[in-house]
Amino acid sequence: QKAQKPSYQKPSYQKPSYQKAQKPSYQKPSYQKPSYQKAQKPSYQKVPKIYVEAEYEYKLPSIWRL
């Protein structure tokens, strides 16, 4: 009897899993639009940051770089 009870709960978990899988699939395309705008903004900010870090690494002694 105990073995049958969990077997009944397993299919009940599959039903909500299908509904949840469909909802995010619709949100994914809507997320791609802002993701493109966000990806461009940080990409421009990251470039100067990397240059600043590179300058600091060159200014610091070779021991610090290691």
Phi, psi (deg, nearest 5) at residue 51: -65, -40
C-beta of residue 28 within 8 angstroms of C-beta of residue 20 = no
Supply the pLDDT for residue 36.
53
In the block, tokens 């039903």 appear at 15
Q: What is the mean pLDDT of each run of 10 residues along the chain (66 residues)?
A: 60 54 53 53 53 61 58
pLDDT given at position 35: 52
**Cβ contact 57:65 at 8 Å:** yes
At 24 the pLDDT is 53
Give me the DSSP letters along 26-40: HHHHHHHHHHHHHHH
User: Quick one: pLDDT at residue 6?
Assistant: 56
pTM for the full predicted model: 0.13
pLDDT of residue 39: 54
State the pLDDT at residue 41: 54
